[in-house]
Chains A and B, each alone.
Chain A
């Protein structure tokens, strides 16, 4: 752990609480396994001492801002999380002056599970082109540089290269395992509809039946609702209890949106989202 970085976060947090600038800090603390991290909410200055930041801090804390609307909160954000902030600013879900952003430069997060911390960087981190958060009020640890692999979407290209029949079989199998716990939706900063389409009674899109067909509708539409909005934090895939490779859905859409509309979510809070706009001259082929 980089103790200097952590001390900066703690000092800033304590300061914000002491001066009453914010009502609470959303950060990370050590989890009960003593190995990984978990989200932590500090409301009193002494609690700031529990804050940490290291390579196990995988959670996207920006989601929690949506639970605290109306309150001024500080939140610790990594570069990918800052894209979520931009997304929510763009969509009018948070107000810039209601959030104090403690940004952190991120060397990458490792794969973790209960009581286990690996040496391997998460897939999303390996080709992440960001080193520092895109938006912040305070940058803990100062400017940060990291080398990233080029983003080639090789995992998507590999999936695309399979035959149609193989792809069908693969996804039937994956969706067959879904138990509709909705953890993917609950952890996602982009999923905040007061009534999710999956819970609508009229019209009834999905219903309560947990079966491959319904699951497929759920998974496909959730990803599609995030097309051009998903910021690639990949928390959905991490939290899935039955290991559905959700990144293969979200990254496919991210790649296509980039190719078709030259757009990536969360980079600029002012840029209009791809499905709220269009170009008259664009030629979108519906051929083979």
Chain B
């Protein structure tokens, strides 16, 4: 593993809960690693598995998908669909040799800034341990 390896993480955060939660972390000056690049989506259900694969193809070491807690989706049921989709995709990618730890699905509400910061720190630490994606 190269010494200067810093994991590249792409995070798809749903606008109503997770993105707001990340915002709370920011305004409260809670520290979390700058490795994550955030892409705001209307709902975790918007996230197409193709986005995840494209992230990995373009060099992401980890992908995070974060949405509202099940039951609290701003669009009622988008996150239920995301839950099914990514439960399957995670295991499928692992089967293809992309460690399932690299695809993280979390439910973060708009008030959970602390939790968001801790979660990103944890994810980054785990990815640092796993090493760069291209070297599995």
Name A's B-contacting residues (CB within 8 A).
159-160, 164-172, 197, 205, 213, 216-217, 220-221, 223-224, 227, 252-253, 256-257, 260-261, 274-275, 278, 280, 282, 284-286, 288
Tell me the smallest distance from the CB of A114 to a CB of chain B, in Å.
31
Q: Is the CB of A220 within 8 A of B88?
A: no
Tell me the smallest distance from the CB of B91 to a CB of chain A, in Å.
6
Chain A residue numbers with a CB within 8 Å of B50 are: 197, 205, 217, 221
B136 on interface, CB distance cutoff 8 Å: yes
Q: Is the CB of B84 within 8 A of A253?
A: no
Chain A residue numbers with a CB within 8 Å of B53 are: 217, 220-221
Q: Is the CB of B97 within 8 A of A252?
A: no
Residue interface mask B40-79, A partner, CB < 8 A = 1: 0000000001100110010000000000001100000100
With A205-B50, A205-B54, A221-B49 already in contact, the answer to whether A164 and B84 are too (CB < 8 A) is no
Q: Interface with A: B3-11, B16-24, B29-37, B98-106, which one?
A: B98-106
Q: Is the CB of A286 within 8 A of B105?
A: yes
With A165-B136, A170-B97 already in contact, the answer to whether A224 and B87 are too (CB < 8 A) is no
Tell me the smallest distance from the CB of A173 to a CB of chain B, in Å.
11
Q: Please give me the 4 A-B residue pairs with the lowest Cβ-Cβ distance, nearest first.
A: A168-B97, A278-B80, A284-B87, A167-B97
With A168-B136, A253-B92 already in contact, the answer to whether A261 and B97 are too (CB < 8 A) is no
Chain B residue numbers with a CB within 8 Å of A159 are: 95
Tell me the smallest distance from the CB of B94 to a CB of chain A, in Å.
7
User: Interface size on B (CB < 8 Å)?
Assistant: 33
Chain B residue numbers with a CB within 8 Å of A170 are: 97
With A253-B92, A278-B77 already in contact, the answer to whether A284 and B97 are too (CB < 8 A) is no
| Contact for B136 among A164, A220, A227, CB less than 8 A | A164
Q: Is the CB of B97 within 8 A of A274?
A: no
Instruction: Tell me the complex Cα distance, A213–B88, Å.
Output: 21
Chain B residue numbers with a CB within 8 Å of A172 are: 97
Chain A residue numbers with a CB within 8 Å of B90 are: 286
Q: Is the CB of A252 within 8 A of B136?
A: no
Q: Is the CB of B88 within 8 A of A253?
A: yes
Q: Is the CB of B87 within 8 A of A220?
A: no
With A164-B136, A217-B54, A278-B81 already in contact, the answer to whether A256 and B88 are too (CB < 8 A) is yes
28 of the cross-chain contacts (CB-CB < 8 Å) are A160-B95, A164-B94, A165-B97, A168-B97, A168-B98, A168-B136, A170-B97, A197-B50, A216-B96, A217-B50, A217-B54, A220-B92, A220-B96, A224-B89, A224-B92, A227-B92, A252-B95, A253-B92, A257-B88, A260-B87, A260-B88, A275-B81, A275-B85, A286-B87, A286-B104, A286-B106, A288-B100, A288-B101
Residue interface mask B125-136, A partner, CB < 8 A = 1: 000000000001
Tell me the smallest distance from the CB of A204 to a CB of chain B, in Å.
10
Q: Is the CB of A167 within 8 A of B83?
A: no
Q: Is the CB of A217 within 8 A of B101?
A: no
Q: Is the CB of B96 within 8 A of A167?
A: yes
With A253-B88, A260-B88, A284-B87 already in contact, the answer to whether A171 and B81 are too (CB < 8 A) is no
Q: Is the CB of B84 within 8 A of A275?
A: yes
Chain A residue numbers with a CB within 8 Å of B87 are: 260, 284-286
Chain A residue numbers with a CB within 8 Å of B96 are: 167-168, 171, 216, 220
